[in-house]
Amino acid sequence: MTSGSKSLMWFRKGLRIHDNPALEYAAKNSTHVYPVFVIDPHYMKPDPTAFSPGSKLAGLNRIRFLLESLVDLDYNLKKLGSRLLVLHGEPGNVLIRCLKEWDIKRLCFEYDTELYYQALDAKVQSYALESGIEIFSPVSHTLFNPAEIIQKNGGKPPMNCLSFSKIAGDPHWLSSSLSTTLSMIPPVGDVGNFEVSEVPTVKQLGYEDIQEEEPPIFKGGESEALRRLRESIKDKEWVAKFEKPNTDPSAFLKPATTMLSPYLKFGCLSSRYFYQCIKEIEKEFKNHTSPPVSLLGQLFWRDFFYTAGFGTPNFDRMRGNKICRQIPWNNDDELLAAWRDARTGFPWIDAIMVQLRKWGWIHHLARHSVACFLTRGDLFIHWEKGRDVFERLLVDSDWAINNGNWLWLSCSSFFYQYHRIYSPVTFGKKYDPTGAYIRHFLPVLKDMPMEYIYEPWTAPLIIQTKANCIIGKDYPKPVISHETASKECKGKMAAAYELNKEKNGMVSDEDLQNLR
């Protein structure tokens, strides 16, 4: 250890102690460690004009989850003799000031592939390099280093999960055991004139702290993440036999998947540690399931989208994105609002959108249903609009995974069978014929008889009256006819695919206009 050497551990994601190589390095090589989190106005400034409470980019559910995660991180750091220093402002400027004023010799932070962080990190790293500050920035948010996968694949990200997993192989860290505990962290040094605060409450950040009728579904933080992980994997047979396509999107009393996504998104749970736990269980079962459908496979999907997002310019938009089909989506704010606000008149779709708003989480196939309905299935609205709604409402909202899946579901990239449409009536019925899920999230329909619960507009008036739910008054009529709309959508998709083929991807705004 260099005597008198001070390190700054910059937390952004990776809000954990376990398997945190940047923190471990700082702890091992310093006399003092400054663990810093910067409250970034870009993400956190309240936006009263948004369609739901929160900032411009994040709904209140996610902001609350982040603050809880910081409280837990501070608590866990204190147990190791340290604490979290919460600072406020534009992170680049704040960090550079910290490096200067605290005479930092080493800057440690988890590598981040997101565009926003790439730009931010370049600014901070350039100052650190000029000032002779050592930088340690390991890849630990994902199983693999996206840059290495792209290099192994001849300079391009793999375009399907199976080829991704073949190229990736076993992660290199698997042969050595991950560090899951730290015994101590060197003390925090003098913070000088810096205004260091405790983790703020939502109220202190300027949000109205709305008390929900039901307790929140998620509680942020590493402690809760590890508790939920243990709970999720205690039934080893369930883990070994997990097959994602066979999980039930309508299960809400006991959801059918792990619900660990918010913890992975913020790095309260290490995806590598999760992977290692699953691998250990798989060793005990000869006939465990395999990627892409197995639980391990789900983590491959995560890395697959991270790699695609990292290696594709303009991944988060249609224009200028080489892997995205150019499609003349409609602009219809009324239909978009009906979808967003659970007023489409299709109970399966509306119940999912209510769950999304309340819980900040919905099952993967529920995400499929509403994303398909909004885009190529029925409303023919741009996937970027749906992506924005998800980005705001999901607690697990993740730049690479959200954009990647919207590209997929809208048949803009990765998946091209646009004639395969999720029916807003029959798909949910397969899993939940009595409509328990709909009755829970749309109590206005709770007394609708089972035979009409997915299509209440077909119920005779006498039945609607008995069920205390008049369609068109208490619950909306369907905004479209699924039969007609889905047929039209398929026609438009066929024409758009043809045009993309003809123009070899060089489709202009005028070409798109002509297709409308």
Which residues contact ligand FAD (rule: CB under 6 A)? 244, 257-261, 264-265, 298-299, 301-302, 305, 363-364, 367-368, 371, 390, 394, 396-398, 401-402, 405-406, 409
Residue 365 structure tokens? 């196939």
Question: Cα separation of 133 and 494, whole Å?
Answer: 56
- Of 140 and 402, the one with the shorter C-beta distance to ligand FAD is 402
Determine the distance from the C-alpha atom of residue 218 to the mean position of all C-alpha atoms in its chain, rounded to a whole number: 14
State the SS3 of 403-423: HHHHHHHCCCCCCCCCCCCCC
Shortest distance (Å) from residue 114 CB to ligand FAD: 12
Give the CA dihedral 222, 93, 142, 298, nearest 10 degrees.
70
Q: How far is the CB of 463 from ligand FAD (least distance, A)?
A: 34
Return the number of the residue (352 or 371) whose C-beta is nearest ligand FAD.
371
Residue 76, judged by CB atoms within 10 A of its CB (0-12, 13-18, 19+), counts as buried
Token pair for residue 456?
């209440």
Residues 6+ apart with CB under 8 A from 158: 149, 164, 167, 304, 307, 308
Taking the CA atoms of 274, 277, 279 and 285 in sequence, report the sign of the dihedral they define.
negative
CA–CA gap between residue 196 and residue 97 (Å, rounded):
13
Whole-number minimum distance, CB 255 to ligand FAD, in Å?
Answer: 7
User: Is the CB of 405 or the CB of 423 nearer to ligand FAD?
Assistant: 405
- Which residue's CB is nearer to ligand FAD, number 240 or number 445? 240
Q: Sign of the CA dihedral 90, 92, 98, 100?
A: negative
How would you list the strands of the sheet with 32-39, edge to edge? 85-88, 32-39, 6-11, 106-108, 134-136
3-state secondary structure of 369: helix
Nearer to ligand FAD, 76 or 257 (CB): 257
CB of 402 to ligand FAD, least distance (A): 3
Closest contact distance (angstroms) between CB of 369 and ligand FAD is: 9
Note the helical H segments in 312-382.
333-340, 347-359, 364-372
Between 85 and 374, CB nearer to ligand FAD: 374
- Closest distance to ligand FAD from the beta carbon of 436 (Å): 20
Nearer to ligand FAD, 109 or 305 (CB): 305
Cα 51-54-57 angle, rounded to 5 deg: 85
Query: What is the nearest approach in angstroms of ligand FAD to the Cβ of residue 310?
Result: 14
CB of 289 to ligand FAD, least distance (A): 12
Residue closer to ligand FAD, measured from CB, 265 or 439: 265
**For ligand FAD, which is the closer residue by CB, 107 or 371?**
371
From 291, 271, 314, 304, select the one nearest 401 (Cα to Cα): 304
> Which CB sits closer to ligand FAD, 9 or 57?
57
d(CA 488, CA 496): 12
CB burial string 329-350: b at 16+ within 10 A, e below? beebeebbebbbebbbbbbbbb
Q: What radius of gyration do the chain's Cα atoms show?
A: 24
Looking up tokens 């994303």 gives 371
- Smallest separation (angstroms) from ligand FAD to the CB of 272: 12
Pick 380 or 406: Cβ nearer ligand FAD: 406
340: Cβ–Cβ under 8 A, 6 or more apart, which residues? 51, 353, 389
Across the strands, what pairs with 471? 475
Q: At closest approach, how far in Å is the CB of 386 from ligand FAD? A: 7
The number of residues making up the chain comes to 516
Structure tokens at 283: 């060793």
Please report where in the chains the tokens 């290490």 appear, as a residue: 270
Nearer to ligand FAD, 102 or 406 (CB): 406
Which one-letter amino acid corresponds to residue 87? L
Task: State in angstroms the smallest separation of the CB of 324 from ligand FAD.
Answer: 15
32 beta partners: 6
**Distance of closest approach, residue 506 Cβ to ligand FAD, in angstroms:** 27
**Among residues 69 and 397, whose Cβ is nearest to ligand FAD?**
397
Angstrom distance (rounded) from CA 248 to CA 239: 15
Min separation Cβ 394 and ligand FAD, Å? 5
